[in-house]
Amino acid sequence: MKKKILFVAEAVSLAHVARPSVLARMLDRERYELVFASNGQYALCTEGLDAERYAIDSISAATFLQRLAVGDPVYTERELAEYVEADLRMLKTVRPDVVIGDFRLSLSIAARLSGVHLMSLCNAYWSPYARETTMMAPDLPMARLLGFPLFDQIFRLAWPLASRYHCRAINKVRQRYGLGKVESLRHYYCDGDTVLYADTESLAPTVDRPASHHYIGPVVWSPDVALPAWWGAALADPRPRVYISLGSTGAVDMLPAIIEACVAEDFVCLVATAGRGAFGSDSPQVFCASFLPGNLAAEAADLVICNGGSPSSHQALMAGTPVLSVCSNLDQVLNMGTITRAGAGLMMRASEFKFSRARLALLSLIQTGFRQAARKIQEDFEGNDPERVISSLLDRALG
């Protein structure tokens, strides 16, 4: 009899739907029956996926981004309590053998209460066992008032207290069900019977992690869309190319300024707006589409500009292409910390973006050193096999 695997995607960003959809496509349908639970947003990620659908509610992406922008906890106690009840109903209805969740943080309660093995998909830089690095602050309003050099110092001092504060809501809900507290935001985000790191150990190292925490390698999604009519002309241009995509969580209002800096340095710009509004340019070296096959665009580019999140930056590195990130939230800053330390990219917080600074970064990133570092990471990525690892871990979880 086939084992039933339930994937649960918290659709507050495209990445949290895309990653489980990629893993689901890796599984052998002769062995597994698949169910994919989400609220239906970012449906492009699951087109053609051979899985039963289960509808769940999530907070809106706009609410999620608004809370991140001011440093508020992502969920209220009431929302988490409602999530847990909905998840308990889902697990009772679907009756999965294993549930795999991407940022559905309530599952750490519901799965345990239901006796279902939970695999939590996250990033190693969020792990409680991540190798200690110097924390940098996200793009918060206070940073714009104080300046990032001072605010980074304050943020590092305040981080332990802030981390516990962000766990208050989930700990109150856990207490209702007789579960112990999570110690920090890192424990909260990486809570599961099995924890799957969508990274490589060389890029995002950990120390003394338990046997239940596993690296599976980068999990990268690229939309299955046709190449735009302008693709051939854009690639025929002999000038250096930059692929620009700020995804579903980047500072999309900065797109015109980013493109202006690229044009000033005579780059041909391949721009994907991720469906976040139309953008037009009179420049003959700027080519735009709602979505592009990101893997092909990254391969065709000399440089990728993104929001700094792991899916977009890892896609660039899988092509051996350096990354310039314009970061907004802490996840993006933490991820880019791993890449800048490896010498394969540069980052700036959105409020740090200046026309002159961006032009200097562009000139730096097309130099040989960044390209060599990106290609070294590319080799590291190619040595990973998420399909093999996830199948092995499912075998282990299923006994």
Measure Cα distances from 377 to 204, 218, 333, 365 in Å: 11, 11, 19, 15
What are the E-state strand segments in the chain?
A: 3-9, 32-38, 52-55, 98-102, 117-122, 194-197, 213-215, 241-245, 268-272, 286-289, 303-306, 323-327, 345-349
**Average pLDDT rounded to a whole number, residues 284-292:** 92
Using the predicted structure, report yes or no on whether residue 399 has a pLDDT greater than 90. Answer: no
pLDDT tens readout for residues 4-53: 999 999 999 999 999 999 999 999 999 999 999 999 999 999 999 999 99
Which of 180, 193, 4 lies closest to 91, judged by CA? 4
247 pLDDT tier (thresholds 50, 70, 90):
confident
In sequence order, the β-bridge partners of residue 10 are none
Q: pLDDT tens digits, residue range 79-100?
A: 999 999 999 999 999 999 999 9
Percent of the chain with pLDDT over 90: 91
First-last CA distance in the chain: 14
What is the CATH number assigned to the segment(s) 231-382? 3.40.50.2000
Q: pLDDT (tens digit, 9 = 90+) per residue, 188-242?
A: 999 999 999 999 999 999 999 999 999 999 999 999 999 999 999 999 999 999 9
pLDDT of residue 277: 65
Averaged pLDDT score across all residues of the chain = 95
Domain ranges of the chain: 3-217+384-398, 231-382
Pick the CATH number of 3-217+384-398 from 3.30.565.10, 1.20.80.30, 3.40.50.360, 3.40.50.2000: 3.40.50.2000
Residue entry with tokens 């953008």 = 279
- Name the β-bridge partners of 298: none
Q: Is the dihedral of CA 38, 39, 43, 47 positive or negative?
A: positive
What gap in Å lies between CA 350 and CA 338, rounded to an integer? 18
**Residue 234 has what pLDDT?**
95
DSSP label at residue 130: B
What three-state secondary structure class fits 101?
strand
Neighbour count for residue 84 (Cβ, 10 Å):
22
Question: What is the pLDDT averaged over residues 237-264?
Answer: 90
Check residue 118 and report its DSSP letter.
E
pLDDT tier at 259, thresholds 50, 70, 90 = very high
* pLDDT reading at 314 higher than 70: yes
The whole-number pLDDT of residue 275 equals 75
Residue 278 has what pLDDT?
A: 64
How high is the pLDDT of residue 250?
72
Q: Which of 139, 152, 72 is nearest to 348 (CA)?
A: 139
Rounded Cα gap, residues 271 and 292, in angstroms: 8
Instruction: Convert 333-354 into a string of H (helix), E (strand) and C (coil).
Output: HHHHHHHHHCCCEEEEEHHHCC
Output the six-digit token pair for 343: 């010498």
pLDDT band at residue 253 under the 50/70/90 scheme:
confident
The 10s digit of each residue's pLDDT in 114-143 is 999 999 999 999 999 999 777 899 999 999
Task: Return the pLDDT at 144.
Answer: 86
